[in-house]
Chains A and B, each alone.
Chain A
Amino acid sequence: MVFLHATSLADAVAALSAHPGAVPIAGGTDVMVEVNFDRRRPAALLDLTRVPELSRWWVEDGRVRLGAGIPYARVIAELGDRLPGLAMAARTVGSPQIRNRGTVGGNLGAASPAGDSHPPLLAAGAEVELVSNRGRRRVPVCEFYTGVKRNVLAPDELIEAVWVDSVAGPQQFSKIGTRNAMVISVAAFALALHPERQQVGTGIGSAAPTPRRAREAEELLAGELDAAGLWESRGPLPATLAEEFGSRVCAAAAPIDDVRGSAAYRVHSLRVMARRTLTWAWNDYRKAA
């Protein structure tokens, strides 16, 4: 095994190009578990923790450019106002030690259906920026996941950043687990209301082979809010609409039975989380008037 130190993004891209089998490592909270248990013996590890471009964020044209190497602790401390959904999810990750090290980029790289970053990124309509010797490309996060722990990354590509709209409406996140810390989600759900364009964003975690949106639920809710003039009036949310939204979210899921929960429980919990997050978000929207 080779250990590659990168101290700039150019370094990292060149190293990955020269060693296409290298596994990028940032917080190590996934990669080192696999290495420690001998489940993975990569030809090379490429350390990204000293790459300054990956540990910065800034706002450009109303979007937050979040460096892929920013740990959850910094998302919580620095971006709770601009990226509230992602920050809520970040607060539920692991433990303080894990949040000090684990990164959103690493969550995307691992592409576990249970990764906590994915639902809020899906709901917010984020884009993932990839870089290689061949150039840069941006992939909508809903097209980023291709299978269980699989994504669109080519062997020579690095996740450089995530672009997320700076918040314009309420965002919520909910996660089911056996305790409040150190939990891999049984199921998770994120919701973003986009009143400026009268749209709704959703993200489902741990209830399909990949994180995914519930598009029909999004369309139903946005359409009904529009038809009833509720985006403008900010009137009370009809209970039947919240129920129907929950049903459509369930219909978008394709869960399995596993050690963390049954498929039936996952569907049930999604229904509850969809209704709850919508109620919370709508109350926030009404209060913000």
Chain B
Amino acid sequence: MRVTTTVNGETRHADDVSESESLLYLLRERLGLPGSKNACEQGECGSCTVYLDGVPACSCLVAAGQAEGSDVVTVEGLAPGRDLDPVQEAFVECGAVQCGFCTPGFVVSAHDLLARCPNPGDDEIREALAGNLCRCTGYEKILDAVRCAASRMPSQRSTV
């Protein structure tokens, strides 16, 4: 079947999409967007997290056909070109990346948190990231990165 979606602001078509494949497969294998990672394929690890119609979702649990007509934003679409989103910058600066496999999912989840809640407490950060697993960092650097990104949010800058 043909699936048409808006991905990172562009209308994209994919042909010969299998009825049983996931949005994650569509993004990675048909649309050339390998940022979202394929790990558990059961919604446990969050490494495939994307925005689907404005809310974070595990793209491995969305059938590609369900994304027809949807608006998808992947980690590749958070900042234009080679620029980095403040969340991505903070992950780099704080050493919140080791093997990097989980990072795109964490970045999307953290990006969503800060869009909803520009000045989160630690409990809110932990809750927002509860669906993302990292087997390298022990999470402390990731928490540092989210706090760092929060401190640079426009709403914070204007009040500081």
**Cα of A27 to Cα of B44 in the assembled complex, Å:** 15
B71 close to A (CB within 8 Å) = no
Are A33 and B57 in contact (CB-based, < 8 A)?
no
Are A95 and B131 in contact (CB-based, < 8 A)?
yes
Q: How many residues of A contact B (CB 8 A)?
A: 30
A55 to chain B, nearest CB (A): 12
Are A36 and B57 in contact (CB-based, < 8 A)?
no
- Interface size band for B: 20 to 34
Are A1 and B131 in contact (CB-based, < 8 A)?
no
Are A32 and B61 in contact (CB-based, < 8 A)?
yes
Within 8 A of B (CB), among A32-88: 32-33, 35-37, 41, 44-45, 47, 49, 73
**Cα of A73 to Cα of B109 in the assembled complex, Å:** 15
CB neighbours of B42 from chain A (8 A): 33, 36-37
Are B63 and A45 in contact (CB-based, < 8 A)?
yes
Would you give the 0/1 interface string for A121-137, flagging 1 where the beta carbon is closer than 8 Å to chain B?
00000000000000000
Q: Closest A residue to B112 by CB, please name it.
A: A96
A265 close to B (CB within 8 Å) = no
B99 close to A (CB within 8 Å) = no
**Interchain CB contact (< 8 A) of B22 among A1, A2, A32, A49:** A32
CB neighbours of A25 from chain B (8 A): 63, 66
B122 close to A (CB within 8 Å) = no
Number of A-B pairs whose CB atoms are under 8 Å?
Answer: 90
A6 to chain B, nearest CB (A): 11
CB neighbours of A73 from chain B (8 A): 55
CB neighbours of B62 from chain A (8 A): 28, 32, 101
**Cα of A252 to Cα of B62 in the assembled complex, Å:** 38
CB neighbours of A45 from chain B (8 A): 19-20, 63, 65
B135 to chain A, nearest CB (A): 14
CB neighbours of B43 from chain A (8 A): 29, 32-33, 94-95, 97-98
Q: Closest B residue to A30 by CB, please name it.
A: B61
Are B61 and A33 in contact (CB-based, < 8 A)?
yes
**Cα of A272 to Cα of B62 in the assembled complex, Å:** 38
A18 close to B (CB within 8 Å) = no
**Cα of A274 to Cα of B18 in the assembled complex, Å:** 47
Within 8 A of B (CB), among A81-114: 94-98, 100-101
A216 to chain B, nearest CB (A): 37
B94 close to A (CB within 8 Å) = no
A148 close to B (CB within 8 Å) = no
A219 to chain B, nearest CB (A): 39
**Interchain CB contact (< 8 A) of B19 among A2, A95, A101:** A2
Would you give the 0/1 interface string for B43-87, flagging 1 where the beta carbon is closer than 8 Å to chain A?
110100100000111101111011010000000000000000000
Within 8 A of A (CB), among B97-130: 109, 112, 127-128, 130
7 nearest A-B residue pairs (beta carbon): A95-B131, A181-B130, A3-B65, A1-B19, A3-B19, A36-B41, A32-B61
Residues of A that sit less than 8 Å from B by CB: 1-3, 5, 25, 27-29, 31-33, 35-37, 41, 44-45, 47, 49, 73, 94-98, 100-101, 180-182
19 pairs across A/B with beta carbons < 8 Å? A1-B20, A5-B65, A25-B63, A25-B66, A27-B61, A28-B66, A32-B43, A33-B41, A33-B61, A41-B20, A45-B63, A94-B131, A96-B109, A97-B46, A97-B49, A98-B58, A101-B57, A101-B58, A181-B131
